[in-house]
């Protein structure tokens, strides 16, 4: 148990880092056993994994590109976890935000690039916040569990955006997608000839902001208190219902930026069913990060590297895609399981004694 001092916090961080590294090693050993049992070269497979993820500048850019949406979705889930909520709806929040971003960019083609990109990002964040606010409000007012409502809203968002694109916003052609957004609305590349854009800077800046809010602001302290013990928070004068709804809205806004940056930086339009499951992988990222904002960075990079390296394993080591998916799943399972156990231990702790705020009874 941490003693609350900087030295104690550092020891706790190093212990968790060691646990995560050990989990990765164990997962790779288990994957090696599977590869060997299936008759494939473990050395060739893992060398291809490394080369595909970190072998050159373009491989690193591909790893970072795959990590960007996970930085947003992982941070969104982590923020909800800190408030005692399970936001399983980041996938739907991404879809709502992505369509809002694309339509905003298409509606304002004459705006200067900086203003157009900012307006498009804000539209996406607002759409994600609105989609996240609904289950937060239902939880606060009716007690409806956010796991159920967010899962259902995922289906609503995906199917609704598909319907809207097919019936109102579809560009000519066989694919259900909008028209291309203006060039002024596209995020600039950081590395030439790659799709790595300034979205990664936005993601890291947002992580720093959320970390500061959680550690230094009264809103962040209220959120933590509600997450640890809602009854104690109410006794201390915290408006629990309002904090619950706003936490889910903030989480939805962050998740929405994953969809927005994909539209502005990678896809350059809204395409139905564009996500391979970024929202759900974000849950594993948040668990691996122990729901800590800065912990999301290495967790997202790990999963981004697995995605980038997995393609290289398939192309050069001739490893079947199904076996690669199993190895990736093992890494996610080994890394995220301790975070899930820690989360449940945290929620199972006894009430936190809290003194009432001045002026409350």
Q: Which two tokens stand for residue 14?
A: 């190093």
Rounded Cα distance, 104 and 102, in Å = 5
Can you give the CATH number for the domain in which 261 is found? 1.10.3470
What is residue 333's predicted lDDT score, i.e. its pLDDT?
82
Residue the block writes with tokens 């408006």 = 239
- Provide the whole-model pTM: 0.89
Q: Which two tokens stand for residue 349?
A: 């702790």
Residue 250 lies in a domain: yes
Q: Which two tokens stand for residue 52?
A: 């595909």
Residue 130 lies in a domain: yes
Q: Which two tokens stand for residue 268?
A: 């350059």
What is residue 330's predicted lDDT score, i.e. its pLDDT?
86
For the chain, the domain total comes to: 1
Closest CA to 74 of 290, 227, 247: 290
Q: Does residue 89 contact residue 151 with C-beta atoms inside 8 Å?
A: yes
Percent pLDDT > 70 in the chain is 90
Residue 22 lies in a domain: no
Q: Does residue 287 contact residue 339 with C-beta atoms inside 8 Å?
A: yes
- Count H helices and E strands in the chain, helices first: 13, 0
Cβ atoms within 10 A of the Cβ of 1, count? 5
> Which positions ≥6 away from 86 have C-beta within 8 Å?
80, 146, 147, 150
Paired with 271 in beta bridges are 177
Residue 93 lies in a domain: yes
Residue 300 lies in a domain: yes
Cβ atoms within 10 A of the Cβ of 28, count? 17
Paired with 189 in beta bridges are 197
Which stretches of 199-277 are DSSP H helices? Answer: 199-216, 218-228, 230-235, 240-262
What is residue 361's predicted lDDT score, i.e. its pLDDT?
38
Residue 140 lies in a domain: yes
Give the N- to C-terminal CA distance of the chain in Å, as an integer. Answer: 32
- Output the tens digit of pLDDT for each of the chain's 361 residues: 445 565 556 676 677 777 778 888 888 899 999 999 999 999 999 999 999 999 999 999 999 999 999 999 999 999 999 999 999 999 999 999 999 999 999 999 999 999 999 999 999 999 999 999 999 999 999 999 999 999 999 999 999 999 999 999 999 999 999 999 999 999 999 988 888 999 999 999 999 999 999 999 999 999 999 988 888 888 888 899 999 999 999 999 999 999 999 999 999 999 999 999 999 999 989 988 888 999 999 999 999 999 999 989 988 989 998 898 898 888 888 877 765 555 555 555 544 444 444 444 3
Q: Where are the beta strands (DSSP E) in the chain?
A: none
Cβ atoms within 10 A of the Cβ of 311, count? 17
Q: Which two tokens stand for residue 45?
A: 């497979």
Distance of CA 55 to the CA centre of its chain: 25
6 SS3 class: helix
What is residue 21's predicted lDDT score, i.e. its pLDDT?
80
144 Rama sector, left if φ>0, alpha if ψ -120 to 50, beta otherwise: beta
- For residue 242, CA distances in Å to 34, 113, 136, 310, 352 come to 49, 36, 9, 43, 20
Residue 85, domain extent: 41-348
Rounded Cα distance, 224 and 275, in Å = 31
**Exposure pattern of 186-223 as b/e (b: 16+ CB <10 Å)?**
bbeebeeeebbbebbebbeebbeebbebbeeeeebebb
Residue 5 lies in a domain: no
Q: Does residue 42 contact residue 36 with C-beta atoms inside 8 Å?
A: yes
Residue 357 lies in a domain: no
238 Rama sector, left if φ>0, alpha if ψ -120 to 50, beta otherwise: beta
What is residue 276's predicted lDDT score, i.e. its pLDDT?
92
């Amino acid at each position: 148990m941490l003693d609350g001092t900087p030295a104690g916090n550092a020891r706790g961080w190093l212990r968790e880092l060691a646990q995560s590294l050990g989990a990765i090693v164990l997962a790779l050993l288990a994957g090696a056993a599977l590869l060997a049992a299936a008759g494939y070269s473990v050395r060739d497979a893992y060398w291809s994994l490394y080369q595909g993820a970190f072998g050159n500048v373009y491989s690193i850019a591909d790893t970072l590109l795959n990590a960007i949406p996970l930085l947003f979705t992982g941070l969104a889930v982590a923020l909800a976890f800190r408030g005692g909520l399970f936001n399983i709806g980041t996938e739907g929040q991404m879809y709502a935000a992505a369509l809002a971003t694309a339509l905003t960019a298409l509606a304002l083609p004459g705006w200067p690039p900086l203003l157009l990109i900012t307006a498009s990002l804000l539209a996406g964040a607002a759409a994600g916040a609105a989609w996240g606010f609904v289950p937060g409000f239902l939880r606060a007012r009716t007690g409806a569990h956010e796991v159920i409502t967010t899962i259902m809203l995922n289906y609503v968002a995906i199917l609704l955006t598909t319907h809207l694109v097919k019936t109102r916003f579809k560009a000519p052609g066989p694919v259900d997608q909008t028209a291309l957004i203006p060039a002024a609305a596209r995020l600039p590349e950081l590395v030439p000839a790659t799709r790595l854009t300034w979205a990664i800077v936005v993601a890291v800046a947002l992580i720093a902001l959320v970390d500061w809010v959680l550690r230094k602001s009264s809103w962040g302290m209220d959120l933590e208190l509600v997450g640890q013990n809602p009854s104690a928070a109410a006794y201390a004068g915290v408006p629990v219902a309002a904090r619950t709804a706003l936490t889910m809205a903030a989480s939805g806004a962050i998740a929405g930026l994953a969809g927005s940056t994909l539209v502005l930086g990678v896809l350059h339009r809204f395409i139905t069913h564009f996500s391979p499951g970024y929202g759900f992988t974000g849950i594993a990222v948040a668990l691996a990060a122990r729901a800590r904002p800065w912990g999301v960075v290495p967790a997202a990079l790990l999963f981004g590297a697995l995605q980038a390296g997995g393609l290289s394993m398939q192309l050069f080591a001739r490893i079947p895609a199904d076996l690669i998916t199993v190895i990736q799943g093992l890494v996610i399972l080994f890394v995220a399981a301790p975070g899930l156990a820690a989360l449940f231990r945290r929620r199972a702790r006894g009430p936190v004694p809290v003194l009432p705020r001045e002026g409350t009874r």
